[in-house]
Structure 1
Amino acid sequence: MSGMLDNGARLTIDDGHEAVVTGMLGAGGQGEVYRVSTDQGEKALKWYYPACATAEQRKIVEELVGRDFDDDRFLWPHAFVTGRGDGFGYLMDVRPDRFKGLPALFRRRLRTTPQALVTAGLHMVEAYQALHSRGIAYRDISWGNIFFDPATGDVLVCDNDNAVVEGEASGITGTMEFMAPELVRGDVGAIPGTQTDLHSLSVLLFMLLMNHHPLKGRAELAIRCLDEAAERKLYGKSPLFIFDPDDSRNAPDPTEQGTVLATWATAPPALRKLFIQNFTEGLRDASRRVRESQWRDALSEVRDTIVVCASCGRQNMTEPRSATARACWSCGRTLLLPPRLVITTPPPRTERHVRLGHAARLHAHHVRAEPPRHDYTDATLVAELVEHPKKPGKFGLANRSDAAWTARRSDGTSQTVAPGQTLPLRSGLAVNLAGAEAVVRAD
């Protein structure tokens, strides 16, 4: 593959050092991405096509680099690069191989799990929330700008050179399928910002979890030529949610679009309720769109209550606070609900429900009322469910924190659980976890 820059080309980084091109990684709508060698190791370089290397784009990139935004969920521009003539680009970290693009997921070329998908959705929401909290709008949230690890659900947001300070105008409006209706229609005063980002984010979440676009039902199938005019009608002038409870004109076709009917049926009501709000009221009134904090709380609860079917071993999303078992989406047998740990955090008090299925784990965010982010790595582990080494089927809660717990049994007796020790699991057991109160309940 040949590109604008030859191997061995030497470019100047804004700190005065050099970046040497060692290979081409790919190309997109605005430019090409190269692998380069720098004094700080191997990096990725985005180099703009001449038509895109405008003074306006240069100003955006320089401002993004100047923000020094340090977040491991973003491949953020961290150095400005120039070469001969008027060409320019920016350096970012190289994307690790474990992160895959969403198109491969939509084409069913990746093996993953419901837990990983829900985790990816949660991490996406928190990543964009972190960006918005700094007064920055992304403006082009779509399937092409995010990568995820199908094993863990970790995410990386790429192509961050479209982000600008909220309220600033620019030429980027987004990708049609993900754009808010007011942008598609070109309403007076409508510009890309955090409010339109909320619509795009909800579209992306729906596609991630349902493997289908929320506005592509019978109406799309009836279109003979999906040209720009047809897209503007579908996404802007007459958008209609495929699961609108009051209007079934755009409902999925059972023959052609049966997959989304099945995935929607497996989604817990807590998620379906938010999707319905966003793609009914939120299509007509931007202020009614689901906020990042609402998605965060719902996705976190759903992840904590995923249940593995005892019959077929498949993961099932369940309604977080329900004691009613549903049928497994795969084999149809009734799920066996494991005990539930109800955690009440220190003030401001928040209640969390965690199903204590095989290999259940508690992390630092479970015992905090307002955690800055959800981190499921070993570094934040507080407790985990372990099986007794000599008594199969008997489980206990192992203390993986640095502090001792105080546990109270249902008979009123208490004990101290030191770090590394395991507490036998019984209904009614109450444990103080770093100031949070946790009680075991059997449904």
Structure 2
Amino acid sequence: MNGMLAAGQTLVTEEGEKVTVAELFGSGGQGEVYRVRTRNGDRAAKWYYPQLADTRQRRILDGLIDRGWADDRFLWPRSIVTSPDSRVPGFGYLMDVRPDRFHGLPELFRRDPSVSATTVRTLVTAALHTVEAYRTLHSRGIAYRDINWGNVFFDPATGDVLICDNDNAVVEGEDAGVAGTMDFMAPELVRQEQGVQPGIQTDLHSLAVLLFLLLMNHHPLDGALALGIRCMDEPAKRKLYGTDPVFVYDPADARNRPVPGEQPTVIATWRALPKILQDLFVATFTRGLRNPGSRVRESQWRDALSRVLDAVTVCRSCGRQNMTEPDGPAPQCWKCGRTLVLPPLLTVTTGTGTLRTHRGIRLEPHARVYAHHLAHDPDRHDFTAVVGEVTEHPRQPGRFGLTNRTASAWTVRRDDGKVQDVLPGRTVGLRAGLLLEFGGGTEAVVRD
């Protein structure tokens, strides 16, 4: 296999279970990853390069494994493995094998055919899932330390994400020995300011860079200034990302604007990005570059991305999906340039008293209402928990209704005051002014 471990070699876990090395998956900056056979099926084993298998890394792994985190969005370390006969020095750890449906972000950025199914809706969904995954990590006081495009994998069909390389995540304030990847590091880390360590605040910068790349297919600080650099070596990167970072769309500093003809993708994608997301990127990459406390929090990204996802609209002329401004006017299609025809809007109201939350869902054909739409402050968006679905009348093409996909009845009130129940599996026709009561104090109204 041309790796540190040989096929057929035996490793042993701390619990005494023997596992057998099968094949080399690949290698990275810290070590090599192998497929191994265990009594519970195949697992992946990361084996550290000798110079990195030190007591600090062992301590970090022990802490991560002791937490026993079962979040399915993370390939979390499960058990430390060693060579029982000390034939190979050092150690590694077991984790689950990454399913084949998950692809790396670099495949997306280079337009690899393997991710050709990716749509605008999928990209926004992947961004939303990524934010929620790191929000969960940070809520436990754990900093990831090295958020970059090599650690996040996504399903191009669903937008589901999987976070890998979690062996450097540590409790906030602890030393991990990892500063990050230069292109994603917060400016204060790039400048190597005294006393500054990677943590949750620096993670927020890295997360914003990742989101910008995911939605814009471009780095937020690579504009005209980057094109003017003849050799993109470490000193050049330190200036670009640390000592003189300028957002490509900084409203007060145009030095680093994308260059027409040279950087057309980011120009086109920024123009098509809803203002609610533009404003968050501007905040993080202007004030947030200078003041870490001004960086956009995960909850802000989550709420904005969720609203944009619910407002994705298909162009009736060319069939392409478009991000639109929630509750905003109809924009022009990014592909054909024609003004979009916005479908009816379902405004959902949840919560009680002053804690009422309002969400708008564009009722495209086959649009769905999910359980998270009916929750005041959902921790996680679950796109398998379907509450209702927009369906077309079987005998009257072009006429649509909302079908009840739950096990409980809804109550609807028409604009003429008539009240009726919508039983599970039944459909209510969509018309402006229709009021729906989903139960639990959640109601919705259809608007043009």
TM-score under structure 1 length normalisation:
0.98
Quick check: 2:168–2:176 contact (8 Å CA) kept in 1?
no
Q: How far apart, CA to CA, are the structure 2 residues paired with 1:19 and 1:130?
A: 31
Q: Does 1:176 align with 2:182?
A: yes
- Look up the match of 1:214: 220
- Look up the match of 1:160: 166
The SS at the match of 2:242 is helix
Q: Does 1:419 align with 2:421?
A: no
Quick check: 1:306–1:355 contact (8 Å CA) kept in 2?
yes
The offset of 1:303, in angstroms, is 0.3
Q: How far apart, CA to CA, are the structure 2 residues paired with 1:123 and 1:325?
A: 26
1:336 pairs, out of 336, 341, 352, with 341
- Look up the match of 1:9: 9
Task: Please list, as runs of the form range in 1=range in 2, the aligned pairs for 1:3-152 lying within 5 A after superposition.
Answer: 3-83=3-83, 84-85=85-86, 86-109=89-112, 110-111=115-116, 112-152=118-158
1:230 pairs, out of 227, 231, 236, with 236
1:247 pairs, out of 231, 253, 273, with 253
Quick check: 1:397–1:422 contact (8 Å CA) kept in 2?
yes
Quick check: 1:270–1:319 contact (8 Å CA) kept in 2?
yes
For each residue in 1:239-281, what CA deviation from the matched residue of structure 2 results, as whole angstroms up to 9, or x when unmatched? 0000001110010110111110000000000000000000000
Amino acid at match of 2:358: E
Q: How far apart, CA to CA, are the structure 1 residues paired with 2:98 and 2:5?
A: 20
Task: Please list, as runs of the form range in 1=range in 2, the aligned pairs for 1:277-292 lying within 5 A after superposition.
Answer: 277-292=283-298
Amino acid at match of 2:435: A
RMSD of aligned Cα (Å): 0.8
Amino acid at match of 1:277: A
- Look up the match of 1:353: 360
The SS at the match of 2:150 is helix
Task: Please list, as runs of the form range in 1=range in 2, the aligned pairs for 1:281-320 lying within 5 A after superposition.
Answer: 281-320=287-326
Amino acid at match of 1:54: D
The SS at the match of 1:208 is helix
Quick check: 2:415–2:433 contact (8 Å CA) kept in 1?
yes
Task: Please list, as runs of the form range in 1=range in 2, the aligned pairs for 1:357-368 lying within 5 A after superposition.
Answer: 357-368=364-375
- For structure 2, the residue ranges without an aligned partner over 5 or more in a row are none
Q: How far apart, CA to CA, are the structure 1 residues paired with 2:362 and 2:143?
A: 36
The offset of 1:433, in angstroms, is 1.3
The SS at the match of 1:144 is coil
Q: How far apart, CA to CA, are the structure 1 residues paired with 2:81 and 2:122?
A: 36
Q: How far apart, CA to CA, are the structure 1 residues paired with 2:107 and 2:300?
A: 28
List structure 1 segments (4+ residues) > 3 angstroms apart after TM superposition: none
Amino acid at match of 1:106: F
The SS at the match of 1:142 is coil
The offset of 1:170, in angstroms, is 2.6
Quick check: 1:367–1:434 contact (8 Å CA) kept in 2?
no
Q: Does 1:375 align with 2:389?
A: no
Q: What percentage of residue pairs aligned between the two structures are identical?
A: 61
Q: How far apart, CA to CA, are the structure 2 residues paired with 1:75 and 1:402?
A: 34
Q: How far apart, CA to CA, are the structure 2 residues paired with 1:300 and 1:290?
A: 15
- Look up the match of 1:394: 399
Q: How many residues are aligned here?
A: 439
1:384 pairs, out of 385, 389, 414, with 389
